[in-house]
Every structure is written in C-alpha cells, then in structure tokens.
C-alpha cells in the first residue's frame, strides 16, 4: 500500500486568454506585430516569461543555430467567430486547443506527456495597431520552460520531433521536495525526489467541471493505482498528484498529473 500521497493545486498554461491592449503613442514605429502578414513559420526568437504575458510580441528573429528561447511552430488567422474586439476573450478560448494540438504534434508528444515536459507554448497576435489595419493573424511559439517558469532555457536548433524518439531527460519534469505540494519543479537531469509519470483524463471537451472535491478524489485514486503499476508493484511506495481548478478546465485542460517518489 502507498505510504504517502499529496495533492497540489497549480496553474496551467493558458497564455493569452486574458489579452492586454497595446497603446500607440505619437512616435509609434511599425514593427512585425503591426503588419497584416503573419510572422514566419519556424522563426526563432529570444523571449522571456514577462513577454508571454503580453498580447503581442516584437522580439527580433534570430538564427535558430544561435541561442534562443522560442520557436514559432504554428501560424494562422483568428476566425470571425471570436469577435471583432481586440480584447475579446473568445480569441484565447479558440486558440487554446488550436495551439495545444499543434504543440503536441510539433514536439512529438501525446496529450498526457504534454503535461509532463519542461516545455510549454505561448501565443501572440497582431498588435492593437495592426488589428486596426485588419490583421487577425496569430502565432504559437514553443518556449523553453513550463508554465510559471521564471527563466527560459535555450532550445535546440529545432523543437520539431524532440520527443519522437527516446524522451530527453533535460526536458522531462521532475520535482524537488519532501512532498509534491511544496516541491520545486525541475528538469529530470537535476537532483529530484519526484517524477511526473502518468496522467488521468477527467472528462471530455463538452463535459462540465465536476468540482474540486471530485477532481481530487478521482485523481488520488487513479494515481495510487497508476504509480503502483508504473513502479512494478513494489511492497511500499510514495505517490503524489497534481490537479487543477475550474479556470484551467474552462481553458481546455481535462487532466491531472501523477507523480512517483524516486531516489535520484
């Protein structure tokens, strides 16, 4: 039987769901974000965690062989169904499944593993100035860090197919701490006490949020059995779990994460 279990309420990457409006002053200079044409697919840039909180981004394109923390993996046009206002929340609600599916395909992971990597994505769109001109494009960027990271790591020359073969430990998620609840998430190449090993799907796209208590109970019970199987049914083991709230559910996340206690 498991000796210890702990739950964690944490955030989930929904960058851009809350849009901020950019203001243009009298000395405004046109940038890529102001143009009607979408950015270049596959382009690399240096972005920071502070950058991904903004609706648009003007970071210069750099060579993908040079240090960079972001790579554009999808571009497209926001449909008219998301509204005509620049700050309409429907833009973000529509973009989440669009970028998420493209992210998973680009790096070569499934929906479960996508929650257990030290990578995430952010989306950007035309500036308020560009929107006035009729620009409705968006870009989805792979970024070198998970949701909530305070610093991004440099990416490889391309993130395409990064997980198509053996998953690189550098980009897998582990944690340091006596319990998952108070742990610090790190790459699995660093010293760690926990490893994110499986996930549980708690509902379909059209399902209503079942409530915090039910989410926690279902997550706990599944993770207990799942981690035990992952560890090949040892006589005793520790496990942890990460579950999310209604805000993340509404953004599109339907999974919780299971953690195994390790000795690394």
CB-CB contact of 72 with 141 (8 Å): yes
The pLDDT value given to residue 14: 41
**Residue range 117-133: mean pLDDT, rounded:** 96
The pLDDT value given to residue 30: 58
pLDDT tier at 264, thresholds 50, 70, 90: low
Q: For residue 63, what are the β-bridge partners?
A: none
12's tokens? 């989930």
pTM for this model (two decimals):
0.83
**Residue range 86-100: mean pLDDT, rounded:** 93
User: Which strands make up the sheet holding 61-62, listed edge to edge?
Assistant: 61-62, 44-45, 70-77, 137-143, 120-125
Furthest CA-CA distance within the chain = 70
CB-CB contact of 61 with 45 (8 Å): yes
The pLDDT value given to residue 15: 40
Which of residues 48 and 22 earns the better pLDDT score? 48
Mean pLDDT of the chain: 88
């Amino acid at each position: 039987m498991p000796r210890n279990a702990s739950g964690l309420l944490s955030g989930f990457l929904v960058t851009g769901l809350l849009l901020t409006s950019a203001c243009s002053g009298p000395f405004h200079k046109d940038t890529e974000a102001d143009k009607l044409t979408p950015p270049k697919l596959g382009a690399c840039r240096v972005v920071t965690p502070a950058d991904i909180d903004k609706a648009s981004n003007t970071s210069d394109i750099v060579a993908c062989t040079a240090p960079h923390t972001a790579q554009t993996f999808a571009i497209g046009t926001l449909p008219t169904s998301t509204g005509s206002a620049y700050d309409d929340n429907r833009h973000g609600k529509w973009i989440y499944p669009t970028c998420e599916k493209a992210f998973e395909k680009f790096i070569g992971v499934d929906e479960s593993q996508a929650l257990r990597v030290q990578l995430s994505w952010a989306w950007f769109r035309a500036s308020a100035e560009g929107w006035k001109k009729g620009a409705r494009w968006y870009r989805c960027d792979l970024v070198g860090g998970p949701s909530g990271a305070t610093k991004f790591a440099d990416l490889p020359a391309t993130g395409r197919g990064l997980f198509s073969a053996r998953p690189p430990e550098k980009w897998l998620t582990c944690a340091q701490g006596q319990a998952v609840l108070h742990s610090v998430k790190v790459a699995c190449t660093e010293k760690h006490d926990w490893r994110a090993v499986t996930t549980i799907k708690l509902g379909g796209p059209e399902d209503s949020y079942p409530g915090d208590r039910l989410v926690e109970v279902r997550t706990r019970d599944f993770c207990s059995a799942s981690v035990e199987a992952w560890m090949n049914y040892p006589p005793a083991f520790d496990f942890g779990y990460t579950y999310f709230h209604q805000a993340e559910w509404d953004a599109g996340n339907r999974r919780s994460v299971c953690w195994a206690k390790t000795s690394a």
